[in-house]
Amino acid sequence: MLKNQRAKVIIRCNVCGETFTLRGRREPGGEVETGFKQCLCDNEQFFLIQEF
Ligand SMILES: [Zn+2]
């Protein structure tokens, strides 16, 4: 099994429309950990996340 596989994600804020391109680390469960916490507009919950 691959460990610490790198992944790229685009995070789009559903509140203000800002997009962030981040590199993350794929966790064993398949989720990507980017360390992203919140948008510039203080939104912490409503995001559209796409991996590519
Ligand atoms: Zn925002």
Quote the ligand 1 centre to 3 CA distance (angstroms). Answer: 31
Would the pLDDT of 3 be above 80? Answer: no
Question: Which sequence spans correspond to the domains of the chain?
Answer: 1-28
CA of 34 to the centre of ligand 1 (A): 17
Q: How far is the CA of 11 from the centre of ligand 1 (A)?
A: 10
Residue 30 Cα to ligand 1 midpoint, Å, equals: 25
Q: What whole-number distance in Å separates Cα of residue 6 and Cα of residue 45?
A: 24
- Nearest residue to 4 via CA among 21, 19, 22, 24: 24
- Span 41-45, mean pLDDT? 97
Distance CA 29, CA 36 (A): 18
- Distance in angstroms (rounded) separating the CA atoms of residues 12 and 2: 27
Tell me the residue type at 22. Answer: L
| Length in residues, the chain | 52
pLDDT (0 to 100) of residue 2: 56
Mean pLDDT, the chain, integer: 90
